[in-house]
Chains A and B, each alone.
Chain A
Amino acid sequence: MSMALPPCRRTKRCGSCAPPEPVSALLVQLLSGLSGASSLFLVAAGLTVIFGVTRVVNFSHGSLTMLGAYLGWSILTRLPRGPEYFVLGIVLTALATAGIGALIEMLLLRRIYRAPELLQLLFTFGIVLVVQDAAQFLWGPNDLPLPRAPWLRSFVTIAGERVPFYDLVLIGIGPLVLAALWLLFTRTRWGTLVRAATQDREMVAALGVDQRRLFTTVFALGAGLAGMGGALALPDASANLQIDLNIITDAFVVVVVGGLGSLPGAFLASLLIGVLQSFGIVLFPQATLVLVFVIMAAVLVVRPNGLLGRAPAVARGAGQGFAAIRPAVPLLLRLGAAALVLAVLAPLAVGPFVLSVMTEMLIAMLFAASLHFMMGPGGMASFGHAAWFGIGAYAAAFAVKGLALGMGAGLLLAPLLAGVAAALFGWFVVRLSGVYLAMLTLAFAQIVWAAMFQAVEITGGDNGVLGVWPAPWAADRRVFYWLVLALCVGATLLLRRVLYAPFGYALRASRDSELRAEAIGLDTTLLRLAAFTLAGAAAGLAGGLAAFSKGSVFPGFISISRSVDGLLMVLLGGVQSMAGPVVGAVAYTGLFDLLLLATDQWRAMLGLAIIVLVLVFPQGIAGSIHRLWLRGREA
């Protein structure tokens, strides 16, 4: 499954306006960067405020921005074109998205505040999928540019340069909003309560404050800011279906660089990122995102909690971890062996379609198992696991098409490159945990995605790499299936073997108590890095196999939704047992293929499925079953 994303991430200043002259580029580019920073700041401010109080990393924040853009388009195109109506339209849009945010909080989020972090992220991703289909249904699939009124097209001359007037407006709005928020948070009772709740929401409740109302209003404020950011960006871009995931990645980066929960931090970081992106487009058009990522990495290495962030105090009364589960081993082993025998014999009995679905299932199994390896025993929940999968796939494709090597070399290079990339990236990621780690892995995957998109000469960009076929000896579908079976089952068993080796125990020890693990002489950072690398390499192998199985590689291999697929498989199956991801992958792949056959609205369906699953099983399916079992035993 892949989600088509746009060919160009940042199309600011394209179309009607000519590219700036090199000499004047500096000033104009700087101002353009600062103006872009403003709407980014609004979105990131909303995200950081919501996180501060509810401790929920709201993936659907980008969807609110997208809704802001669409609603803004609908409202502004119906109003007269004077500046005063523009202001009115923006205000109306902000109010509308605030209302939608309040509804989302009251109907949905309110029910999952005590669920594990990861399920919360997944839940809000479900909202993203639903909103995407809803927006497409309401506004159609095409980009909706805002017809620009004359005043929006006017220029101001500064130091001999023509600067778009609207850029200056945006530049002014950022600090204004920061000041307004600052006043709101320091000078009003509501703001005082919000700051208190950010630190200790249980105590705030014990003092007689209704948290629910506080959370709803905070969420509405954040949503309003997101919507306003989306609408303000309209004159420079358009309302389109890609805004949600693009802006959420940028906003995550800003929030992480600025420090989770810090408004001034978000402001500084958005200036930094905005200007950087603006110059990056001129200086290294191919490497803008990589640049952003390098800056983020640099900041986090020097200041692990962001520019102005503080050490993440565990907020009282926040969500909890998963319940621990132990599988019934002998029965599972026997079932697994039986399944394996069936899988080996299957090609003799089934047709080509079923065989290709089974191939897909096997690859999904290895992908899910590698993610599980990091998440379960490693305690590192990645939201960008598709990065390694994609790197593996592109490595295999490059070996075959670029270096004219065989399939064997491709399948060797895939885990190798993915492992090396994972080791490099993991070097500083493994120091983080929880939400920070999830966000960083997500950001990194987005950057790999964009890099593959932008490096057209090597990767073919959106067109992908075609004709990545297996070697002649494996050209027969059945032979290829057996190869996939051998490699996927072998690699999965290897991961399992490692888990029950001393390394696996050490890894789990460092997950459960870093302090105690270090006290007995374990190097927890190194352990986590090794696990990260191994998981990356295994996912890379899965990606390489996928490349040969499909015969082509596309940027969609690295999409967020592929990462989320992996998470769903693991969470559906259960985090605490190795059988979980295996069962989850098989069930999920089968279900998904059915869903694709049955409906066009697969995003909305999948989103709804996620939302319902998390609402019904707030501890994960396996965790909830475990609880039921305990209760049954007590009764």
Chain B
Amino acid sequence: MLRVDALHAHYGRAHILQGVSFSVAKGDALVLLGRNGAGKSTTFKSLIGLVRPTSGRIAFDGQDIAGHEPHVIARAGLGYVPEERRIFTDLTVMENLEVGRLPARDGQPPWTPERLFGIFPNLAAMRTRPGGRMSGGEQQMLAIARTLMGNPRLILLDEPSEGLAPVIVEQMVHAIRAMRDGGVTVVLAEQNLHFALAVADHATIIEKGRIAWAGRVAELQADAGLRETWLAL
């Protein structure tokens, strides 16, 4: 589904990604783990085209998308939910969803606002509320729902559980499972290990812009030393 090969990226002259490689199979859920500043968000931005990778290959659905414009990549079926959510604060919930809407794809039932309200019941009650007047958790749900409106084949979720209350995190776990049931492949960046373990099958640990470890989530769960080495603060 997605195969990233020796990806390099810079901010100005700072060499941030120094050869990131990983791959995800269709229908799978992969979590990128790593400390603050490890390069998770930069990886996602390079995938969606907001950061132009300096070298490396990104094969998505058999197509090389490295260096393409963001809208081309999004239209190819790659969805992106940024860490800062970036809700359109002047627009209502329904309007935010409208901005994300893209045509349906073959072999996948299209996401509609009604279907999304089934996953995110909180949103259903605030259709005409401006995005600027929603709580952080509500904004996070809206950001995910907005991206799903584009009927992505694969969705990049950058720290979806960040700053959420435990109840909301629980809802988020269900939401991600619902997405996977709907046929969406999931790649998420996380610091919250418990959340990651609850939703992902595979994990990749990124450290200073390089891949430090890759394997099954279950192995990570079993190996405290591994977690200690790469994830402890």
State the Cβ distance, B60 to closest chain A Cβ, in Å: 14
Is A18 in contact with chain B by the CB < 8 A criterion? Answer: no
Q: Which of A297-324 contact B (CB under 8 A)?
A: 316
A206 touches B82 (CB 8 A): yes
Q: Which A residues are CB-close (under 8 A) to B69? A: 205, 210
Stretch at the interface among B92-100, B116-124, B194-202: B92-100
| Nearest B residue to A316, CB-CB | B86
A199 to B95: give the CA distance in the assembly, Å: 13
In the bound complex, CA of A205 to CA of B90 (Å): 17
B residues in contact with A203, CB < 8 Å: 82, 86, 88
Q: Tell me if A209 is interfacial: C-beta within 8 Å of chain B.
A: yes
Interface centre among A189, A203, A207, A210 (most CB of B within 10 A): A207
Contact with A along B71-96 (1 / 0, CB 8 A): 10011000010100010111100011
Q: How many residues of A contact B (CB 8 A)?
A: 19
The answer to whether B91 touches A195, judged by C-beta atoms less than 8 angstroms apart, is yes
Q: Are A199 and B90 in contact (CB under 8 A)?
A: yes
Chain B hits for A316, CB < 8 A? 86
* Cβ 8 A contact of A207, one of B90, B91, B100: B100
Q: Which residue of B lies closest to A203 (CB)?
A: B86
Asked whether, in the complex, the Cβ of B147 is within 8 Å of the Cβ of A207, the reply is: yes
Instruction: Determine which of A192, A196, A198, A208 lies in contact with B102 in the assembled complex, contact meaning CB atoms within 8 Å.
Output: A208
A144 interface contact, C-beta 8 A? no
In the complex, A204 Cα to B100 Cα: how many Å? 8
**Pairwise interchain contact B89-A192, C-beta atoms closer than 8 A:** no
**Which B residues are in CB contact (< 8 Å) with A204?**
99
Q: Is the CB of B99 within 8 A of A206?
A: no
Given contacts A198-B90, A199-B89, A205-B69, 20 further A-B contacts (CB under 8 A): A189-B101, A193-B99, A199-B90, A200-B88, A202-B70, A203-B86, A205-B70, A205-B71, A205-B74, A206-B50, A206-B70, A206-B82, A207-B146, A207-B147, A207-B150, A208-B74, A208-B100, A208-B150, A209-B71, A210-B71
CA distance A193 to B102 in the complex (A): 12
Does B9 touch A at the CB level, under 8 Å?
Answer: no
With both chains docked as a complex, state the minimum distance between the C-beta of A190 and any C-beta of chain B, in angstroms: 11
Q: Which residues of chain A come closer than 8 Å to B184, judged between CB atoms?
A: none
What separation, in Å, do the CA atoms of A350 and B95 have in the docked complex?
71
* Docked-complex contact A207 and B74, CB < 8 angstroms: yes
Which A-chain residue is minimally distant from B70 (CB atoms)?
A205
Contacts of A196 in B (CB 8 A): 88, 91, 95-96, 99
14 A-B pairs whose Cβ atoms sit less than 8 Å apart in the complex: A192-B91, A192-B99, A199-B91, A202-B70, A205-B50, A205-B70, A206-B50, A206-B71, A207-B100, A207-B102, A207-B150, A208-B71, A209-B99, A210-B69
A203 to B83, CA, bound (A): 12
How far apart sit A199 and B96, CA to CA, in the bound complex (Å)?
12
Q: Which residues from B are CB-within-8-Å of A193?
A: 99
A:198-235 near B, CB below 8 Å: 198-200, 202-211
Write out the residue numbers on chain B whose beta carbons fall within 8 Å of the beta carbon of A207.
71, 74, 99-100, 102, 146-147, 150
Q: How far is the CB of A501 from chain B (nearest CB, A)?
A: 32
Q: Which residues of A contact B98 (CB under 8 A)?
A: 189, 192
Interface residues of B (CB under 8 A from A): 48-50, 69-71, 74-75, 80, 82, 86, 88-91, 95-96, 98-102, 146-147, 150
Given contacts A192-B99, A202-B70, contact A208 B75 (CB under 8 A): yes
Contact with B along A423-462 (1 / 0, CB 8 A): 0000000000000000000000000000000000000000
Bound-state CA distance A19–B54 (Å) is 69
Q: A205-B70, A206-B74, A208-B71 are in contact. Are A192 and B95 (CB under 8 A)?
A: yes
Q: Which of A189, A204, A211 has the most CB of B within 10 A?
A: A204
| Pick from A189, A200, A209, A211: contact of B86, CB under 8 Å | A200
Q: In the complex, what residues of B have CB within 8 A of residue A189's CB?
A: 98, 101
Using CB atoms, name the residue of chain A closest to B88.
A196
- A-chain residues with CB within 8 Å of residue B96 when the two chains form the complex: 196
**Majority SS of interface residues in chain A?**
helix
Give Cα A192 to B90, complex, Å: 10
The 7 closest A-B pairs by CB, nearest first: A208-B74, A205-B70, A203-B86, A196-B88, A196-B99, A206-B70, A208-B75
Q: Which residues of A contact B88 (CB under 8 A)?
A: 195-196, 199-200, 203
- Min CB distance A419 to B, Å, is 41
Q: How far is the CA of A206 from the CA of B50 in the complex (A)?
A: 7
- With a cutoff of 8 Å between Cβ atoms, the chain A residues found around residue B86 in the complex are 200, 203, 316
* Cβ contact within 8 Å between B48 and A206: yes
Which residues on A sit within 8 Å (CB–CB) of B100?
Answer: 207-208
**From residue A260, how far is it (CB to closest CB) to chain B in Å?**
15
Contacts of A211 in B (CB 8 A): 71
With beta carbons under 8 angstroms apart, the residue of B80, B90, B101 that contacts A206 is B80
In the assembled complex, the CB of A320 is this many whole angstroms from the nearest CB of chain B, namely 11
Distance to closest chain A CB from B105 (angstroms): 12
How far, in Å, is B157 (CB) from chain A's closest CB? 13
How far apart are the CA atoms of A207 and B71 in the complex, in Å? 6
Complex CA–CA separation, A198 to B50 (angstroms): 17
State the Cβ distance, B155 to closest chain A Cβ, in Å.
12
Contact partners of A200 in chain B: CB under 8 A = 86, 88
Kindly state the separation between the CA atoms of A438 and B55 in the bound complex, as whole angstroms: 40
CA of A210 to CA of B70 in the docked complex: distance in angstroms?
9
User: Who on chain B is nearest to A191 by CB?
Assistant: B95
Contacts of B75 in A (CB 8 A): 208
Q: In whole angstroms, how far apart are the Cα atoms of A207 and B101 in the complex?
A: 8
Minimum Cβ distance to chain B for residue A52 (Å): 11
* Chain A contacts for B146, CB-based, 8 A: 207
Closest Cβ of chain B: how far from A131's Cβ, in Å? 31
Distance (Å) between the CB of A276 and the closest chain B CB? 30
Chain A positions within 8 Å of B101 at CB level = 189
Bound-complex Cα distance A200 to B96 (A) = 12
What is the CB-to-nearest-CB distance from A217 to chain B, in angstroms, rounded to a whole number?
Answer: 15
CB distance from A321 to the nearest CB of B (A): 13
Q: In the bound complex, how far is the Cα of B75 from the Cα of A192, in angstroms?
A: 19
Cβ of B131 to closest chain A Cβ, rounded Å: 9
A210 to B102 alpha-carbon distance, docked (Å): 12
- Chain A positions within 8 Å of B102 at CB level: 207-208
Instruction: Give Cα A193–Cα B146 distance, bound, in whole angstroms.
Output: 13
- In the assembled complex, the Cα of A15 lies from the Cα of B41 at a distance in Å of 67
Closest approach, in angstroms, between the C-beta of B14 and any C-beta of chain A? 13
